[in-house]
Structure 1
């Protein structure tokens, strides 16, 4: 019978960089856990060797031994006793290699792993670190020569399709694939309920190493998302007469769903708007080399938040993560790392298809997965016939591999809405950062309303949105680009209200659940970090924005005082703000009752006079539903609250903006609409280079041009470093004298 032997321990690791220094390590392991997270975009990318003497279990003549590699980023080769047995191109999926024929007395195993840039294996361009390493579990699998297929794209060898019929009935469709089985061997699948009771069994006879049959079921219990993620267990047995040759245990869930352009996401016949986050798999100081407990911690945090969906960005995640989603009822968007830049060559196109086959086949049985993502922001470098053709082929491939689920794409914000890519998948989503990189938060409302009115038959979602925040930065007047925890919270307050008022938005996925490494970044006071997470990179700090989602989504009664870390406050009157899922909250300052406020959009607010140190307490429907914090009045702004090397917003004592007048916080389009202001900005543009390009007179603006015209001047100045601090202040002062159009 099948035996799985973990071989994570005792590997000899060396970078093949000329030094070849050998270290003894255990896997999971990455060589970029530190240099891939510290900024500079200079983390080491190359080939490394993982070697060990293989302790091989005894095999009889009817047994085989496979190596199972669950994640090696990004290209890897398996060498046994000096002979190369396999090469795998893709850093996020499982692959297996039959070692049997090359085994001898005393076996040396080497896995060569390479994350060197190339033009074939995705991803090659993206806003996250491409950690190199043997970063997931490595196993040996001992099996009978006749077994459920181990060499078919890393899958289980059996596809189980739960089908919901009428009147509480259902059927489990079984398609099993074997290796070295004989015609006449049988596959039996028995289904057990959550209590372990067998509720149905069926047997099929193998012909040409495969068999298909259906198992009728009565009184099926539905997998109903976070409310009731009910799982059945299917035990599959491959037999020859009375002899059992191989066994598998797979969990399944029965559910129906639709993605309707008017009604949004529908689960088991009822509306079920998807609100959750995207998730990268790395942790501070660990990179992507995670143990099970790290996945469990991430899931527990998202469950506390009340999320009902996860987008697995931007690649296939560990099987442990999909298992946790199954168990906890979170609906998964699973995708391949086809991202940012299309590599127009045959090998790269085939790599997208190969990675998609692995994604779908390896994860077919997970009830938590509902949509397969074709690509992310793939048109950043523009559209082309080859790009479109490859997406059409990918879309067809997914429907061939899995007719039961939907395809989806995440489009870059400036992609024209009449692009054929928008209508290509079954559902579509856009990555929009209005209110952060460009424009105002309110621009999200107008964009989605316009899209829905113009394309009423296309299901639309928002696949990325967010604002970077370092929880140490604060302001009485937070604004876009200041990296304060306070602005990020305001941003997400608006986005939640906007989406929940529009049930036809089928899904919203916050970018991101957790801060993550992007070694090319240097902003917000921490190099090498994307800080749009609702939770910090080390998972120790839940930012204020986390709790507005909890207020909307969680059923556990709570109140949360925001701005706890904003202790030193320079204004004599300060806002005290509470997030809650309680109907009303009472505020006490130094024990004095400051009144009870009804929650509006899950928020209560008070303006409180402060003069010294104060203890603030917010209380919900009883004394146990409460939160406290301390604040104090100071004469000058605490400099620790101001971002270092980031936004210019906090350079101004009284704020950048002057009501009714222009400022650097306005967009290029707003400033260009006033000739006097445009004259001020023209020489600045020359210092930035050709940022916006030129539009011939009379020619309509492209979507890209319109997007760039909505880009804030402040953000462009910060990114380009075209002006000094003093010059930016001077420019803003001059703009403050010019009335808006």
Structure 2
């Protein structure tokens, strides 16, 4: 029988990277309990420098001699980013997929009595292991559960890079009839062939059997099996409205004795895509009201527990989301199960992100991570699409990029033809780019009004895309702004990090989606603030502050309640601006966020106004505050009864509270306006000369010539002393740099640089 026991305790850990630890006991160590990461502090803005390196975990495993006849596997939930597993000094297995589960067969290396398990985990940069570069912390560690799996000689396949060894596929035949296909493989590791049986039983949520079947197998080695039947009028898995799940019970028996079993939940549903009607779930169009999620949590990094995941799910359900983009990698299997059980449609993806490998143009690691993601998450009914790339053209967009994306798309469809394929483009991917024909669904990460352009440009861009691609389903895969809830303003503006600007930004986005039926919806970036070790902005170090909720999940920003007002059916009222306590202007606008259509607003217990309508954002203009404390209260009314209320205290003060203003670090003039040193008065025309270097060559190519390198350093020497430069120079060109606001390159400068490169032969 399949037996699984946690091996999370009694691990010794050290940051000292000594190869001898494969077989020798650690010299100096600390005792840790898994899940564990060594970046729980420095990966989220702690005082110590962000540590990336190879570390070791070690523990003993005692096996009774009489039990050695069983089959043992070590199941490691994830090892970030590269893991090597040694048993009694011998390399037993490895993983180069830092977000996927992997198993190691132990029997060839085990002995009776004590066995030494040594695991080297390495989160250093490796040009052939994705992600290479991204705006989040690459946490190192054994940050998910480790289990000891014990099996009989005859069992479902546990070494096909999947999870269950069994794959369930449902598809609609129309008229309420669904085909259910169950495929898998049984492995016989004994020395003799036997006759066996695989049995399947499908039960509904109440425990009643709705289908069962049996297959006899001649088990000499590995044998595949397939069951197919029609399920008539099943109760549908209907998203957040009704996430109904059946349970399939799979068993392997020999001479009537059970040798292995699986228990897998499955929902029956149809999902269609339309460029005009959006996502269609079970025949009904729905707008994707989505959030993105990273897997870390304040103070613990990505070594999160089931309790952390359940809290995240509670908050996501509270905000009223109906879909989650689980970015930018494979998440813990338990969280996919939570999405199944609560009806959240899931976009699952691999970390083929930002820049491709220069050492492996075939991106074989991306393929490996894709295979593991799809096989391990295949049985989760919540997943409706597989993501094959995120902003992979941030530094380079070439034919090789296209070839790789196409290959990943083809591979996805071979592994799972029952779901859609999606990609998330950076805004710089042109509307008419051939990339937009590769996948069933196209997402764009759009930050108009934060990194570029104005807030209103979001709608303009989406309209332009739809005109160019009227048959391509499109949504916004990321939108958001960094927000520190200690900052506030009467006149919010770009990159002031105030709650008020975040509220304004998201209100525009939600209205934009609502007004355009052809936009399938959007995914807020991000549901929670998350660790990004190399960041230092918005008054916080080591964090991306675009969350609707703070990284420790203790504070819901006003934009959280804005989304809730648009998405949730649970009646509520919320007064925005409650942390903007000290008000120095006499006249103040009071903002109420609510999904109720009858509100009463009070100032110091006197009725101020009655509000009616379905605006979601209600404003009471020009409220005169008295000196000192002012108590604002709002009541939500249903059938003349107060069913919801909220209140806040504002204090009228004489002068502006300077603590509400984010003061950006002073930059020296040569950094801010470095281009002022150069003559930009030319016509701006770019002329390329055959056989010479150009602004389209990678920085690494320019560095092959001392003359071309000197030209680059003349203009961009001030940009080279940072991790981003080192990681991207193999794929980044000057022309591509000009598309990124980070570099602040005037377009007129490109022709000036090109003229200098035109006299340097390759």
The TM-score with structure 2 as length reference comes to 0.85
Is 1:519 the counterpart of 2:538 in the alignment? Answer: no
- 1:509 aligned counterpart, secondary structure: strand
Give the one of 191, 198, 203 matched to 2:209. 198
**Aligned-partner SS, 1:325:** helix
User: In structure 1, how many angstroms separate the alpha carbons of the residues matched to 2:65 and 2:280?
Assistant: 52
**Distance in 2 separating the partners of 1:321 and 1:65:** 26
Corresponding residue for residue 163 of structure 2:
155
Contact 2:132 2:356 in 1 (8 A): no
| Contact 2:484–2:497 (8 Å) recurs in 1 | yes
The correspondence for 1:70, drawn from 65, 77, 101, is: 77
CA distance in 2, matches of 1:41, 1:408: 38
Contact map agreement 1:16 1:46 (CA 8 A) in 2 = no
Residues 363 and 404 in structure 2, CA contact (< 8 A), matched pair in contact too: yes
- Counterpart for residue 617 of structure 1: 633
Aligned partners of 2:200, 2:180: CA distance in 1, in Å? Answer: 10
Query: 69, 93, 100: which is aligned to 1:86?
Result: 93
Write out the 4+ residue segments of structure 1 that deviate beyond 6 Å after TM superposition.
680-683, 688-694, 704-712, 715-718
Unmatched runs of 5 consecutive residues or more in structure 2: 19-25, 689-695, 697-732, 746-762
Deviations 1:382-432 (A, max 9, x none): 112222111111100000000000110001111122222221111101001
Q: Are the aligned partners of 1:47 and 1:112 in contact in 2 as well (CA < 8 Å)?
A: yes
Does 1:279 find its partner at 2:287?
no
Q: Is contact 1:585-1:604 (8 Å) kept?
A: no
Alpha-carbon distance in 2 for matches of 1:140, 1:225: 35
Q: Does 1:187 align with 2:187?
A: no
Q: RMSD value over aligned CA atoms?
A: 2.8
**Aligned counterparts, 1:100-179, within 5 A:** 100-105=107-112, 106-179=114-187
Contact 1:497–1:601 (Cα < 8 Å) also in 2? no
CA distance in 1, matches of 2:677, 2:160: 52
Report if aligned partners of 1:468, 1:483 keep a CA contact under 8 Å in 2: yes
Shift of 1:698: 11
CA shift, 1:185, in A, is: 1.9
More moved, 391-400 vs 682-691: 682-691
Q: 1:647 to 1:447 in 2, by over 3 A?
A: farther
CA distance in 1, matches of 2:394, 2:579: 37
Aligned counterpart in structure 2 of residue 637 of structure 1, from 627, 638, 656: 656
1:165-564 maps to which residues of 2 (within 5 A)? 165-180=173-188, 182=193, 184-206=195-217, 208-346=222-360, 349-564=363-578
Query: Is the Cα contact below 8 Å between 2:431 and 2:464 reproduced in 1?
Result: no
Q: Output the CA distance in 1 between the equivalents of 2:341 and 2:522.
A: 22
- Report deviation, 1:697: 7.2
Q: What's the CA shift for 1:694?
A: 8.8
Question: How far apart are the structure 1 equivalents of 2:341 and 2:154?
Answer: 31
**How far has the Cα of 1:37 moved from its partner?**
1.4
Deviation of residue 242 (structure 1)?
0.8
Report the CA distance shift for 1:341/1:159 in structure 2 as closer, same or farther (over 3 A).
Answer: same
Assess if the C-alpha contact under 8 Å between 1:41 and 1:520 holds in 2.
no
> Partner residue of 1:4?
4
**Deviation of 1:692 (Å):** 14
664, 667, 675: which one pairs with 1:686? 675
Give the Å deviation of 1:684.
Answer: 3.4
Structure-1 residue corresponding to 2:718 = none
Contact 2:737–2:743 at 8 Å: present in 1 too?
Answer: no
Contact 1:483 1:646 in 2 (8 A): no
CA distance in 1, matches of 2:147, 2:444: 39
Preserved CA contact (<8 Å) 1:205 1:211: no
Matched residues in 1 for 2:446 and 2:145: separation?
Answer: 36
The whole-number CA distance in structure 2 between the counterparts of 1:211 and 1:690 is: 72
- Structure 1 residues 601, 615: CA separation in 2 closer, same or farther (over 3 Å shift)? same
2: distance between equivalents of 1:593 and 1:69? Answer: 61
Going from structure 1 to structure 2, the CA distance change for 1:203 and 1:428 (only over 3 Å counts) comes to same
Q: Can you list the C-alpha shifts for 1:94-121, whole angstroms capped at 9, x where unaligned?
A: 1001101211121111111011111111
Q: Hey, what's the Cα distance between the residues in 1 that align with 2:327 and 2:603?
A: 43
How far has the Cα of 1:478 moved from its partner? 1.0
The Cα of 1:454 is off from its aligned counterpart by: 1.3
Q: 1:28 to 1:682 in 2, by over 3 A?
A: closer
Residues 540-572 of structure 1: per-residue CA shift (max 9 Å, x gap): 000000001111111111111000111100111
Shift of 1:708: 9.7
Q: Is the 8 A contact 1:40 1:520 kept in 2?
A: no
Q: CA deviation at 1:710?
A: 10
Deviation at 1:597, TM superposition (A): 1.8
Per mean C-alpha deviation after superposition, the further-off stretch among 260-269 and 636-645 is 636-645
Q: Report the more deviating stretch, 620-629 or 249-258.
A: 620-629
CA distance in 1 between partners of 2:591 and 2:678 (Å): 43
Q: Does the 8 Å contact 1:40/1:528 carry over to 2?
A: no
C-alpha distance in 2 between matches for 1:136 and 1:404: 29
Q: Secondary structure at the match of 2:655?
A: coil
CA distance in 2, matches of 1:602, 1:392: 42
Query: Which consecutive residues of structure 1, in runs of 5 or more, have no partner in the other structure?
Result: 649-679, 719-741
Contact 1:39 1:522 in 2 (8 A): no
Contact kept in structure 2, 1:228 and 1:329, CA below 8 Å: yes
* Alignment check: 8 A CA contact 1:120 1:347 kept: no
Structure 1 residues 708, 131: closer, same or farther in 2, change over 3 A? Answer: closer
The alpha carbon displacement at 1:574 in A equals 0.4
Equivalent residue number for residue 627 of structure 1: 646
Shift, 1:624, TM fit: 3.0
Q: What is the CA–CA distance in structure 1 between the aligned matches of 2:521 and 2:645, rounded to whole Å?
A: 32
Q: Is the contact made by 2:432 and 2:468 (CA closer than 8 Å) also made in structure 1?
A: no
